[in-house]
Structure 1
Amino acid sequence: MKIEAIILDWAGTTVDFGCFAPVNVFLTVFEDAGIKVTLEEARKPMGMLKIDHIRTMLEMPRIREVWNEKYGRDFTEEDVHALYMQFESKLMESLATYTDPIQYVTETIQQLKEEGIRIGSTTGYTDSMMEVVTSHAAAKGYEPDFLVTPTQLGDKGRPYPYMIFKNMEAMGIQATKQVVKIGDTTSDIQEALNAGVWAVGVIIGSSEMGLSEEEYMALSEEEQQFAIEKTARIFKETGAHYTIRTIKELPALLEKINERLERGIVLA
């Protein structure tokens, strides 16, 4: 028994260091609606299907209160859909510019493919959004074997486990313990745990860390270490089995998990 497949998130995990494409648009559409939201509030639901993300933000007590003060009523599903339509339109305008593979991704994934590991993927983006992302990422050297979006599953994205199960079905994987899910948000960890697969949080470049590549590189070594430890702690508190700083550490981690499987130690 050994790991046969990994399932990777996209923005913040394999492309778009810091996951800035959606965050910037969330800030803009709420501001256009007269609601000032913080970067922390915009990032908290990251990894979810984007319409669910907007709904979750509107349900946050502070944002809900500001909305009620401005509009004199609670938000409605009509409001959710109106904000989402603006979000989708603005995101599609800028999405192609946020498709650069994060450092170590292309060479590490190629190495794992050569070793016979299947490469699946899940996302909080819709089919139409991913058409842009996948084509540009492939041109830049990153192309997993399989992709599942919430669109393909009746919009049941994270934290539901179904995108992982559909990847497993397509790739012919028999057991959940043979699968490792890697992501950069707490939603990714919850998705993995709900599916019963190994849950791994990737730290540098993650939405959870919330820094651009320039911001991260401008930190002192001590500041970088503090940001890494803080992010790792959040992933572990969410239930992650492991954390890695970058995708470069993934092959060694897979060997470690395989050793556990050989000894009969399964997921906690």
Structure 2
Amino acid sequence: MITLAVFDMAGTTIDDGGAVYDALRIAVEETGVRVCPAELQTWMGTEKRAAITALIELGGGDPLQPADKVDAAFDSFRATLDKLYTEQPPTPIAGVPEAIAALCASGVQVALTTGFSRDVAEGILEQLGWSIGEAAAPDAPTPATVVDALVCGDEVVAGRPAPYMIHRAMELTGTLAVSELIVAGDTAVDVQAGANAGAAITIGVLSGKLDRQAFEGQPYTALLDSVAEIPAYLATRG
């Protein structure tokens, strides 16, 4: 029996128009290195300082020279992302709010995990009118989507593909058994983290930048078009 669903944010539950990809590429290229699209894709879904460090190294740069290079690039990433989100605000992926509501109604808790820092993640959720662990105010103009927990990449020892964000979500929601866990995400590291966490079900979703071929060889249970399909998928499993 599944009692906790752990979902990624950008590309999985939230459509940001690819802004994270663009902001990360711009921030790294400002350090003077070129970002290979395939390497950028590989590091999507990971904690952003770790991604910046790796991409600088892959581009032939030294992330430690000067000493504040990664911090400066991270600040640039956040500023560029904020600009892109102002120009084109993120929106929920179609059917996802309804899927989250259906899961909650069936007794499944829902947690979000992300490579963003908490201030960025909470800012996105606030833009969407989504709440963490509390219902929307009675006078809210539209019903908010409510999730039970949020875990960010800078709050654990290591981000994806390490399982720690998922295990932290289990801790926050009081989930004891990985056999009660479903994990979903739109990148390779999302499904790797789910497998590393020991999740009963790990779902790759095609709502982000990756197609079916890009998931080949990854440790997923199933590939779905969207998180919107998960309630029906679970219903077919009994």
TM range (shorter): 0.7 to 0.9
Deviation track 1:198-231 (CA, whole Å, cap 9, x = no partner) reads 211111x213x2xxxxxxxxxxxxxxxxxxxxx2
Q: What is the TM-score of this pair, normalised by structure 2? A: 0.84
- Say what the alpha-carbon RMSD is for the aligned residues: 2.1
Matched with 1:195 is 197
Q: Secondary structure at the residue paired with 1:34? A: coil
**Which of 145, 151, 170 is residue 148 of structure 1 equivalent to?**
151
Corresponding residue for residue 10 of structure 2? 11
1:99 to 90, 96, 111: 90
Q: Name the one with the larger helix percent.
A: 1
Distance 1:177 1:233 in 2: 28
Partner of 2:232: 252
CA offset at residue 38 of structure 1?
Answer: 4.0
Unmatched tracts of structure 2, length 5 or more: 131-141
2:124 counterpart residue number: 133
2:79 pairs, out of 74, 79, 89, with 89
TM-score by length of 1: 0.75
Instruction: Report the 3-state secondary structure (helix = DSSP H, G, I; strand = E; otherwise coil) of the residue aligned with 2:204.
Output: strand
Contact (CA 8 Å) 2:8, 2:186: kept in 1 or not? yes
Letter matched to residue 91 of structure 1: L
**Equivalent position amino acid for 1:52 in 2:** A
Structure 1 residues 17 and 151: alpha-carbon distance in aligned structure 2, compared to 1, 3 A threshold: closer
Moved more, 90-99 or 236-245: 90-99
Q: Distance in 1 between matches of 2:180 and 2:153?
A: 23
CA distances 1:117-141 after superposition (whole Å, capped 9, x unpaired): 1111110000111121111122574
1:247 and 1:151 mapped to 2: Cα distance? 24
Superposed displacement of residue 248, structure 1: 2.6
3-state SS, counterpart of residue 114 of structure 2 = coil
Cα 1:125/1:119, change in 2 over 3 Å = same
1:137 and 1:42 mapped to 2: Cα distance? 26
Q: Are residues 248 and 130 of structure 1, via their aligned partners in 2, closer, same or farther at CA, if it must alter by over 3 Å?
A: closer
Contact 1:134 1:143 in 2 (8 A): no
Runs of 5+ consecutive residues of structure 1 not aligned to the other structure: 68-73, 210-230, 260-268
1:50 corresponds to which residue?
48
Relative distance call for 1:102 and 1:130 in structure 2 (3 A) is same
Partner of 1:218: none
2:16 touches 2:85 (CA, 8 Å); kept in 1?
no
SS in 1 for 2:193: helix
Once the two structures are superposed, the pairs formed by residues 27-38 of structure 1 within 5 Å of their partners are 27-38=25-36
Matched to 2:116, the amino acid is Y
Partner secondary structure for residue 199 of structure 1: strand
Amino acid at match of 1:126: S
Write the distance in 2 (CA, Å) between the matches of 1:192 and 1:37: 27
The correspondence for 1:76, drawn from 64, 81, 100, is 64
Ranges of 4+ aligned residues in structure 1 off by more than 6 Å: none
Output one character per residue of 1:129-167: Cα deviation in whole Å (capped at 9) or x when no partner.
11211111225743322111123225x211221111111
1:11 counterpart SS class? coil
User: Distance in 2 between the 1:53 and 1:5 partners?
Assistant: 28
Partner Cα distance (1:102, 1:54) in 2: 26
**Computing the radius of gyration over CA atoms, which structure comes out larger, 1 or 2?**
1
The alpha-carbon distance between structure 1 residues 241 and 36, as it changes in their structure 2 partners (threshold 3 A), is same
**1:227-268: CA deviations, max 9, x gaps?**
xxxx224324111111101223211221344x4xxxxxxxxx
| Secondary structure of the structure 1 residue equivalent to 2:92 | coil
Matched residues, percent identical?
28
